[in-house]
């Protein structure tokens, strides 16, 4: 009898394609997505896109950059005009990080922490991993490509600090030590390290932590907007099963009013959800929603329109309530994983980041990122919002066509 129950459960699973999809297909897809993300993040196969500006163009800087260019994990974006252009590339996400060999710092040959370091990294806090990887690759390039500089400086250090010297030399050492002591007294570090060559500058100013919060607020908001929209849109199928759709279809408004009415409800529901999440982000974490209220409202409205349209589309594409409980869940989970709602996009390998652009999650996230990270002006956000709105309305139009199937002709 136990085996009979086992067989009954097995048969039910095999006959329920939705349950089968959730039990077998979705876990496998999720495993693949997250394996790709974390394997890439944990391996040395991270591809870092670096915007490079050489303000010095000395023999040393050219040798260093050529060596860096030959590193497998570094993809150099060349032809960047100046520091501002590099900054812009990082803010837009075209480059993960920018490297400036700066004219207003010490030279690569003589850097000793006495002035601004010769190398400047422009870092988006959301892509700290990229900056860390690049620092390591820079060290390797430096010691590989400029051994004369590196060893010369080490020999000098040893010569001044570790060998036996003649009295005359000792006097000179004493003078040097006095000089070092004086330098130390003035807050300058003695000795030498690669760090003296390199300075990190946060392209997002002082709001690094806030950017992460803003990212997750957008990511979580949009994913839940989608789930809530699909969940509520299932009501259309409930109305169909109860005969309510049949009744309304016989009235003057027809099924059109059912879809439109539900759509407006879902948009408002999305706006309220987005407001709650960003209010928490503002009150508890200081994300500057009030300071960007107009643009935030526009993005949130556009995102709510898209989520509402997609929710309706996913549900009206189903023929039964059972299907509608599975299909939207599967699609939204996968879109959210690929689109950056679960794991930040900057952790993902390049191909997955590219793939993310086919998901609405990425479009919504990029719109929020444009506002809260990159500080894009309203005008720059308009095309993104237009994209969200357009896609949402297109999904609504298709939902109208699909909803016609829900009532018999």
Nearer to another protein, 253 or 291 (CB): 253
Question: Min. distance of Cβ 300 from another protein in angstroms?
Answer: 29
Please tell me the count of residues contacting another protein according to CB under 8 A. Answer: 15
**The only residue of 198, 249, 371, 396 in contact with another protein, by rule CB under 8 A:** 249
With tokens 């974006």, the residue in question is: 77
Measured CA to CA in angstroms, residue 278 lies from 221, 333, 348 at distances of 8, 22, 25
Nearer to another protein, 382 or 407 (CB): 407
Part in contact with another protein (CB under 8 A); list of ranges 57-65, 140-148, 170-178, 246-254: 246-254
Question: Min. distance of Cβ 363 from another protein in angstroms?
Answer: 35
Nearer to another protein, 27 or 253 (CB): 253
Among 57, 179, 48, residue whose Cα is nearest residue 121: 48
Among 52, 93, 86, residue whose Cα is nearest residue 71: 52
- How many CA atoms lie less than 13 Å away from 242 in the CB half-sphere? 9
Name the phi and psi angles at 99, rounded to 5.
-120, 125
149: Cβ contacts below 8 Å, ≥ 6 apart: 60, 108, 109, 142
**The only residue of 191, 253, 291, 377 in contact with another protein, by rule CB under 8 A:** 253
Part in contact with another protein (CB under 8 A); list of ranges 64-72, 245-253, 273-281, 356-364: 245-253
**The only residue of 244, 317, 322, 394 in contact with another protein, by rule CB under 8 A:** 244
CA distance 18 to 25: 10
Query: Could you tell me the two tokens for 245?
Result: 């759709």
CA distance 228 to 224: 6
Nearer to another protein, 13 or 257 (CB): 257
Name the phi and psi angles at 41, rounded to 5.
-65, -30
Nearer to another protein, 77 or 244 (CB): 244
Question: Min. distance of Cβ 392 from another protein in angstroms?
Answer: 25
Angle at the Cα of 204 from the Cα atoms of 338 and 38, rounded to 5 degrees: 30
Nearer to another protein, 53 or 245 (CB): 245
Instruction: Give 78's DSSP letter.
Output: -
Nearer to another protein, 245 or 277 (CB): 245
Among positions 213-242, residues that touch another protein (CB under 8 A) are 242
* CA dihedral sign, ordered 342, 45, 201, 51: negative
16 binds another protein (CB under 8 A): no
Measured CA to CA in angstroms, residue 71 lies from 49, 107, 138, 164 at distances of 12, 23, 9, 40
248 binds another protein (CB under 8 A): yes
CA distance 409 to 284: 54
**The only residue of 167, 185, 187, 252 in contact with another protein, by rule CB under 8 A:** 252
Part in contact with another protein (CB under 8 A); list of ranges 1-9, 316-324, 359-367, 401-409: 401-409
Element holding 55 (H helix, E strand): none
Among positions 113-142, residues that touch another protein (CB under 8 A) are none
**The only residue of 54, 55, 246, 288 in contact with another protein, by rule CB under 8 A:** 246
* CA dihedral sign, ordered 317, 319, 320, 326: negative
Part in contact with another protein (CB under 8 A); list of ranges 33-41, 76-84, 181-189, 251-259: 251-259
Contact (CB, 8 A) for 385 and 299: yes
405 binds another protein (CB under 8 A): no
243 binds another protein (CB under 8 A): yes
Among positions 254-293, residues that touch another protein (CB under 8 A) are 257
Part in contact with another protein (CB under 8 A); list of ranges 19-27, 250-258, 292-300, 313-321: 250-258
185 binds another protein (CB under 8 A): no
Nearer to another protein, 261 or 377 (CB): 261
Contact (CB, 8 A) for 44 and 134: no
Q: Given strand 97-101, what is the order of strands in its sheet?
A: 74-77, 48-54, 97-101, 119-123, 198-202
Residues that bind another protein (CB under 8 A): 242-244, 246-253, 257, 407-409
């Amino acid at each position: 009898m136990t085996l009979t129950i086992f067989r009954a459960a097995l048969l039910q699973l095999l006959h329920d394609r939705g349950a089968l999809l959730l039990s077998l297909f979705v876990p496998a897809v999720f495993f693949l997505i997250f394996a790709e993300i974390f394997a890439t993040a944990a391996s040395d196969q991270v591809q870092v896109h670096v915007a490079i500006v050489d303000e010095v163009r000395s023999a040393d800087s050219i040798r260093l950059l050529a060596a860096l260019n030959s590193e497998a994990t570094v993809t150099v974006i060349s032809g960047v005009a100046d520091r501002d252009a590099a900054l812009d590339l990082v803010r837009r996400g075209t480059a993960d990080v920018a490297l400036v060999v700066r004219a207003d710092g010490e030279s690569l040959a003589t850097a000793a922490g006495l002035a601004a370091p010769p190398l400047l990294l422009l870092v988006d806090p959301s892509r700290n991993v990229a900056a860390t990887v690049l620092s390591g690759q820079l060290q390797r390039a430096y010691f590989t490509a400029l051994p004369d500089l590196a060893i010369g400086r080490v020999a000098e250090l040893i010569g001044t600090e570790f060998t036996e010297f003649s009295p005359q030399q000792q006097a000179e050492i004493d003078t040097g030590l006095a000089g070092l002591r004086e330098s130390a007294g003035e807050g300058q570090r003695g000795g030498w390290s690669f760090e003296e060559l390199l300075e990190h500058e946060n392209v997002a100013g002082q709001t690094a932590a806030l950017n992460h919060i803003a990212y997750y607020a957008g990511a979580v908001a949009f994913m839940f907007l989608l789930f809530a929209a699909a969940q509520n849109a299932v009501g259309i199928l409930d109305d169909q099963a109860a005969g309510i759709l049949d009744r309304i279809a016989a009235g003057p408004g027809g099924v059109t009013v059912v879809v439109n009415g539900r759509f407006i409800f879902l948009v408002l529901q999305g706006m309220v959800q987005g407001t709650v999440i960003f209010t928490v982000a503002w009150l508890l974490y200081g994300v500057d929603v009030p300071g960007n209220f107009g643009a935030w409202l526009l993005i949130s409205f556009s995102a709510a329109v898209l989520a509402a349209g997609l929710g309706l589309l996913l549900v009206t594409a189903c023929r039964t309530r059972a299907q509608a409980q599975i299909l939207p869940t599967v699609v939204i989970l996968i879109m959210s994983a690929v689109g950056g709602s679960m794991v930040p996009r900057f952790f993902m390998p390049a191909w997955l980041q590219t793939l993310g652009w086919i998901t609405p999650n990425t479009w919504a996230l990029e719109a929020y990122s444009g506002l809260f990270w990159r500080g894009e002006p309203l005008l720059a956000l308009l095309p993104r919002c237009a994209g969200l709105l357009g896609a949402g309305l297109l999904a609504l139009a298709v939902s109208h066509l699909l909803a016609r199937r829900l009532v018999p002709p």
